Structure formats: C-alpha cells, structure tokens
Structure 1
Amino acid sequence: MMTKKIESTPFASDQVKTLIVYGREDCHLCQDMIVALQNLQRQVSFEFQVVDIDSDPELIALYGEKIPVLMAPLTNQMICHYFLDVAALDDYLGKFR
C-alpha cells in the first residue's frame, strides 16, 4: 500500500486564520469590532470566534479593561484592542502567506 506524503508546514493555514475576539455583551466597542471583522472577511480569508469574558474570571482578570481584544490563539499574540487595527491584522496574517 502506498502512502501519500503530506507536505508539512509549520502552521496549518486554518489555525493561522482563526482569531478570537474577547469581549462581553452590551459592549458597543465589541460590536463595532465584530462588524468591522465581518466586513473585512469579504476581502481577506480568516475566521473568528467571539468569547464572552464574563464566563471566565481569568479572562476578566486578563482583558477586563481592554476589551474588545483581538487575539491570535496560535501564537498567543494580541493583535489589537478597543478598535480593529487593520494594518496589525494584515501584518499578522501576512507572516503566514
């Protein structure tokens, strides 16, 4: 039986392109960032999920005053907070192109 060799890359592209927005409900800045990310997805390929920090005391301690926070979980890198920094996000995604 022949096995097909799979090209290995340091990071799988779907991991690279999955981001997390830490925020909370009733946070207008969080909603603004989510809408901005959704608009950007029309031009750039990435996914994101929204995590409510109020569900975890550790997240409240880490991000309570900074929300919304856009994180790259793969590298544990904070891309931006308060407002979407498109240039910073582009820099992050560009490292893996």
Structure 2
Amino acid sequence: MLTLYTRKDCPLCEELADEVHALIAESEHSVEPVDVDADPSLKEKYGWDVPLLFDGDTEICRHQLDRPVFREWLRFNP
C-alpha cells in the first residue's frame, strides 16, 4: 500500500492523487491518503511540504509525480 501525505484543499495533492490512481488502476496497489494537518507530529515533520508519496518508509516522490521514478517503482512492485 502506498501512502500519500496530503492536506485538505491542496490542488497539488489532488493532482498527484489523480495521477497515481490512474497509473495503478489496473494493479492491486492502493493509496492511503493521510492528512498531515490531522496529526501534529506529521504536521511538524512535513509542514507545507506536501504532497509526498511513500511506500512504507521510502519516499517515491514529492510535490509532483515523477513518472519515470514511479514507473520504475511499479516495475519492481507489480
């Protein structure tokens, strides 16, 4: 499962979520959105530095989808 750190009313967050969902639509992967504003420790850790896409503790991309990196991740995580 992928984790998307986001916040409410964030256009970049919505854009990244839409792109990721489109790329994983035919896979068994899922994305769990996590609102950084709902958790004080996450808000302190990431501040305004969202969206962030993670696989466990591994950051895949930040602020916008890095398609080559994400496709490489998909290749190794079918």
**TM score, norm. by length of structure 2:** 0.85
Report the secondary structure of 1:29's partner residue: helix
Distance 2:13 2:77 in 1: 26
Match of 2:67 among 60, 76, 86: 86
Q: Any gaps of 5 or more consecutive residues in structure 1?
A: 1-17
Matched, 1:20 2:3: yes
Match of 2:24 among 23, 30, 41: 41
Select the structure of larger CA radius of gyration.
1
**Structure 1 pair 94/41, CA: closer, same or farther in 2 (3 Å)?**
closer
Deviations 1:22-74 (A, max 9, x none): 0000101001111111211235542111000111111112222320000111x
Q: Per residue, is there more helix in 1 or in 2? A: 2
What does residue 30 of structure 1 align with? 13
Task: State, as a whole percentage, how many aligned pairs show the same letter.
Answer: 29
Matched residue count: 78
**TM score, norm. by length of structure 1:** 0.70
More relative contact order, 1 or 2 (CA 8 Å, 6+ apart): 2
